Structures are given as structure tokens and as C-alpha cells.
Amino acid sequence: MGENDTERNLLRSLINASEKAANIARICRSNEQLLSLLVQEKSGTEANARFEHDFKTLADVLIQETIKHDVGNLFPELRESICGEESPNFTNTLGESVTISVGDTLTNTIQCLSTVLNGNEEAAEALANEVHRDISFEDERLGDIPALPNDLAYEELGIWIDPIDATAEYISGDSMFTNFPGITSTGLDCVTVLIGVYNRLTGIPIIGVISQPFQQKIIDNEYRSLVFWGVALPDLQVNNCKFDARIRNPLGIFSSSENPDVLQCFLNLGYEIAFSAGAGHKALKVITNEVEIYTLSKAGTFRWDTCAPQAILRSIGGDIYNYSESVKQQKPIALNYSPANDNEENWKCNKGGLIAIRDSNNIEQFIVALANV
């Protein structure tokens, strides 16, 4: 990786970026001014639907642009291939169009955020301080961060970011629990930051980082992150996701809107059923061996939702498959991130649904069973 091996470790950089993202997400919920702006409901002449919607995504956009800025500075050959869910363009209450960007200096970033927040300097400064803070995330649960191969062609890579997956859970914070220990239905536990790296020539995910910003509550409004990562390269398969399976009946995790016939298929296979929010969260439960499978039989997730967990699953021996194509062709067909055809609409969407599984040797039984749905 050259002279600056530590600085040029992409995995380490993504882990640090995920923790900075978690800090921004947490400060938006712990700072009284920011939280009041985040959750307030205006009415009558005070209402501005566009601004209200935009502020609720400000944390998402700021996290996305911060990751792009930090990783792009260390890896300039990747800068133009870092993509995310959110548009950086906002319209504030004065009707001014503002593009969220991370400035070269703290002052520049404060000025940009102050414009978006209609002159709220205190809130802008609180956010900008987190954006410009130096982060080196250390946690014994990370394990040993490996050096990446010297011949890794960074110019061939792309990155998909979901800055805050399960935004509705992030805003409301209301928790509901399932009947299964450790499986949350709604709430902050469902919120994840997803950063996935893929090879733009093959479309195959190769590095994934998933952070749970609200995984461990220390005291009121203070949380500790839990970060999962995986590398799935031909000559390097490594992760920090060695989890024993729980001794219980097999368990699948689904969206509450899943097709009842699909759910019945799994019940017929002897599976118990859990419902939970957040595509990243549900995929993470497969990674941590708390459930055997996560299935979505329709469109509803996007490349930024699946790239990171798919890379981690591939490093374990699993994968994420295209539900419709795999069932139709009766053979496993993994999700792929190859560049879109110019004529293809909605190309960022996983239109065929998905099947996320920790052990790819088991996929055949599911696509056979689901063919009868």
C-alpha cells in the first residue's frame, strides 16, 4: 500500500468514517436544539413541508457528505465513485437553494450549515465540530484490522453509503420488542450506518462496514457504537463476525409487509417468524447468526442498503441473492452492482427482492420451496 500503510488502509478508514457518522447521528438526537428541530411538527402559517422533510434528512446528508469528504481525501482515486442515498441539495425556509458540503475549514462548514438551518449558528457549530473532529475508533470488539493486498486496484472500486438506515426509527426512537431475545422490532437498535465497497468491473461487493450507533446505552442520551466489518477478496476472507448459532428453532426475519404466502412457506419449513425494521438491521441479524435468513420478495431495498451487508456475508460464506431471479431460474443468483444500463429505470433499486443467508450451501432448499409460492 506504499509508504503510508496506516493512512491508506481503506478498511480502517471506513471504520473511522462509520464512527464519525455515528457521532453525528447521536449529536442530532442528544443536542436539545437539534432534536427540537428534528422532531417538531409545524402547523398553519409556520408549516413548510419542504423544510420539515429536508431537516429530517439533514443528518443523513451530512453523514454522507462527511464520509465522501474524509474517504475521498485519503483515496482520491475513489472520490468520484463514492455514492449515497441522499441528494446534497436543500431549500431552506427563505427559499434559498443550498448544497450541503464539507468545507476545507470548520468555519466554511459552519457557514454552509447555518444557511441550511436558517441562521441557527449554535446548531450549525455543534454539527460542524463533529464533522471536523479527528476520529480513530478503537474497540476490542473490532478484532485485528488486516492490511489489504498491495495490488488492490482502488481506481476500480466504488462505494455505496446508507448514512442512516431506518430513518423513521432514528427520528421516533420508539422501541418495540419481539418475542425473540435480542431481536428488536422498532427503535434505535434498528438504526445502522452502512458503507459497502464493490468492484466496479465485476459488480461484486468486497468490503463492508456496518455500525450500530445506538447499540449500547451508557447513560441518558449517551451511546456506544458496535461496528461489524468483513473483507471478501479472492485471497483475503476475514471479518469480526464469528458468532455461534443460538440453540433454538430456525428463525427468519422479515418486513411486516411481506407476502403472507412467503411467510407461510417458511412456517411450513419449520421456521419461526420475526418482524423488524431496517434492511441493514435485518441483514445484520443474519450476519450475527441470530436468524438464519432474511427474505424480501419484492422491491423495497436499494444498492446502498445491501452492498455492505453482502460483502460481510460473502466474507463469512454467505451472500445476498436476487429473490425473483433465483426462484425463477431455480439457481442462486447473487445481487450485483455492475454499472446500470443507460436505458434502465430505477437501476439503484433491488427490484427482484432479496434472500440474505449466512451459509450459501443452504440456499438451494429455499429457492426450491419458494418456487411454489
- Active-site residue (options: 167, 184, 192, 301): 167
Out of 305, 312, 333, 355, the active site residue is 305
Active site residue 145: no
Catalytic residue among 60, 169, 258, 292: 60
Determine whether 174 is an active site residue. no
CA-CA distances (angstroms) from residue 152 to 9, 11, 155, 235, 338? 11, 12, 9, 11, 18
Residue in 19, 54, 70, 162 annotated catalytic:
162
Residues 6+ apart with CB under 8 A from 104: none
- Catalytic member of 63, 82, 100, 164: 164
Q: Where are the beta strands (DSSP E) in the chain?
A: 82-84, 89-91, 97-99, 157-165, 176-177, 184-186, 192-199, 205-219, 222-233, 236-239, 251-254, 272-275, 293-296, 319-321, 354-357
**Residue count of the chain:** 373
54, 70, 85, 86: which is the annotated catalytic residue?
A: 85
295 is catalytic: no
Q: Is 165 a catalytic residue?
A: yes
Render 131-184 in DSSP notation, one character per residue. HT-------GGG-PPPPPPTT--GGGEEEEEEEEESHHHHHH---EE-SSTT-E
Per the annotation, the verdict on 85 as an active-site residue is: yes
- Cα distance between residue 27 and residue 185, in whole Å: 24
Q: Is 167 a catalytic residue?
A: yes
Q: Do 262 and 241 touch, CB atoms closer than 8 A?
A: no
- Residue 162 is a catalytic residue: yes
Active site residues: 60, 85, 162, 164-165, 167, 305
